[in-house]
Chains A and B, each alone.
Chain A
Amino acid sequence: MDEEEAVAFKKFLDYLAPDNEQAAVQRYEHLRDAAIKYFACKYFACRNVSDPRACADEVLRVLQLKIAAGRVIEHIESYSLRVAHYVKLRDWKRHQPEVQPSESEGKDKNPGAESPLEILEKRVERNRLSRCLAKCWQTFSDEDRKLMERYGLGSEHHKAEREALAAELGITEEYLRQKIHRLKKKLRACLNDCLKKISRKV
């Protein structure tokens, strides 16, 4: 980040929540998450060619530039949505030829065929994932690990077990659902960090 960008970022945080850095960062994170969600859904996506995270960062970059240039934005959330829409259109135009192959091109390509190298890469990737998951799993307390295991996966499974679990903990099932989601989110974040570290080493 160069000096100009750093100043723009600081101004943006001030704009989001003056004199309260923590609140500003929270609001910033929310805007980023919302933009990621926007780009991750197919009909608004960057048409499979860009990473939704990169698209979301582009939205935030545009917002920072606008604020730094003295633009007064009354409602930053709805303005962010408009910027996201604009970034999507721009990105879509840029990548349009790549993502809309003609029918004959589509038939020639065999998306299921993988080279031995690709298969090997996938295995290596899976191995890395397993290692990272085992490592991250250990960073959770025994209590949290058991909670995740007992809760299980999916929306409809283990209903009785989940009811019993919520009763044991003295919380509502809805709160338990949210708690589990936050634990899994934390686990995923740990997994992503671990994978980044490994790929940096490689």
Chain B
Amino acid sequence: MNQEKQDQWIKSYLLGDLPPHEREQVEARYFADPDFLERMDVIEAELIEDYALGALGVEKAQKVKQHMLNSPYQLEKLQFAEMLMERFDQVETVQDVAVEAALRRENWVANLRGFFSQRRWPSFVIPAAAAVLIIGGLIFEISRMRRQLDNLRLAGLKQQETIAQQQKQIEQMTGKPQPSPEERRNDLVKDQTSPPPTMKLATFLLLSVTTREVNEKPPDVLIPTGAAEVRLQLVYNGKRYSSYQPMLENADGDVLLPPKSGLKTVRVGNQSIVNFDVPTKNLIENRTYIVRLKAKRASNYEEVGLYDFIVRKQ
């Protein structure tokens, strides 16, 4: 049996695909042959890592879960793979950021050097020019921020007016007083302070809305009965950042969960994915939801991706 066939044989054994007589052959082999046992270890570790990376198909992933992750001893291996995954991702992100910063620094210094080396300047000109540049930059930045703040205030006032008008209309139609936005926010926060459920039963891959045709409807997220949480895997292929923050909103733009900061991407093949766990109690059937993916840039989070989906329940 060649190496490739042997690997496949081992994989089938680990995934529970072999008939009984062949299982016995594999057992006899690994009891007798230390090299074969080590080979099994390698393949088992890779399968568990692939599972942790989300790189297996649904059927294979289920088999791994069912046959290979059924005891605390085996779960220790999965935990180890997950910890390594986090560690390697962190290392890579730090390296990416360092390389980008170094490149930026190099370009900036090279440009500056080029500019000043072209001609001879009197000694006072350089500090004076630097001071003018800094002060000018500061004034420009402050005025820009003021304008932004004014716009935000204006938008906030308009939004408040609209909400008040809509509330009045609802009260007129139903005859019942409606809770204020503040009260509604408090209700949401109250809901979210209960301990989070951790049973992840459903995983869905979401592509950014920009990858869809204009008339194409958002994808369905089918939640199985009894699932306490869904894992949304947000496919993100843009520039890499040190940390991500997904925000779940309903179609009205209400933020439904407190923002989860500090998430990292996980690589799956050529794709990068941000895993976002959402308790199913926050999702209502047949409603459309939006996930805004934000990335940390300097000290702020900026939107880098938009995803939407419709909830269906089984």
Query: Could you list which residues of chain A lie within 8 angstroms of chain B, going by C-beta atoms?
Result: 26, 30-31, 33-34, 36-38, 40-46, 48, 51-53, 77-78, 80-81, 111-116, 119, 129-130, 133, 137, 148-149, 152-157, 174, 177-178, 181, 184-185, 188, 191-192
Contacts and interface: CB of A to CB of B under 8 A. Distances in A.
B67 A42 contact: yes
Contacts of B27: 38, 44, 81
A43 B73 contact: no
B36 to A, nearest CB: 9
A184 B73 contact: no
Interface stretch (B44-52, B166-174, B232-240): B44-52
Interface string B23-43: 100011011101001101110
A37 B37 contact: yes
A178 B42 contact: yes
Given A37-B40, A157-B269, A184 B70 contact: no
A148 B74 CA distance: 22
Contacts of A174: 3
B62 interface: no
B70 A48 contact: yes
A58 B307 CA distance: 54
Given A129-B79, A149-B88, A155-B50, A48 B71 contact: yes
Contact of A153 (B31, B37, B81): B81
Nearest to B197: A112
- Determine chain B's interface SS by DSSP, over half rule: helix
Given A30-B34, A184-B45, 14 more contacts: A33-B37, A34-B37, A37-B40, A38-B31, A81-B31, A112-B228, A113-B197, A114-B195, A116-B195, A149-B91, A153-B49, A154-B50, A154-B55, A188-B80
Nearest to A116: B195
B127 interface: no
A119 B198 contact: yes
Q: Which of A34, A38, A113 has the most CB of B within 10 A?
A: A34
Contacts of A42: 16, 66-68, 70
Contacts of A156: 50, 55, 269
A52 B49 contact: no
A144 B91 CA distance: 14
A119 B30 contact: no
Nearest to A158: B267
B83 interface: yes
Given A45-B70, A191-B80, A133 B195 contact: no
Given A111-B199, A119-B195, A181 B42 contact: yes
B119 to A, nearest CB: 46
A112 B228 CA distance: 8
B255 interface: no
22 contacts: A30-B34, A31-B31, A42-B67, A43-B23, A44-B27, A51-B71, A80-B31, A81-B28, A112-B198, A113-B197, A113-B199, A114-B198, A133-B87, A149-B88, A149-B91, A153-B49, A155-B49, A156-B50, A157-B53, A181-B38, A185-B41, A188-B77
A153 B67 contact: no
A137 B79 CA distance: 16
B71 to A, nearest CB: 5
The 7 closest A-B pairs by CB, nearest first: A112-B199, A155-B46, A153-B49, A77-B32, A154-B49, A77-B31, A34-B31
A70 to B, nearest CB: 23
Interface in B67-100: 67-68, 70-74, 76-77, 79-81, 83-85, 87-88, 91-92
Q: Which of A46, A155, A192 has the most CB of B within 10 A?
A: A155
B14 interface: yes
Contact of B41 (A26, A52, A181, A191): A181
Nearest to A122: B198
A153 B85 contact: yes
A8 to B, nearest CB: 21
A154 B46 contact: yes
A152 B266 CA distance: 12
A45 B28 contact: no
A181 B67 contact: no
A20 B290 CA distance: 67
Contacts of B197: 112-114
B240 to A, nearest CB: 15
Contacts of A37: 30, 37, 40-41
B168 to A, nearest CB: 42
Nearest to A51: B73
Contacts of A112: 197-199, 201, 228
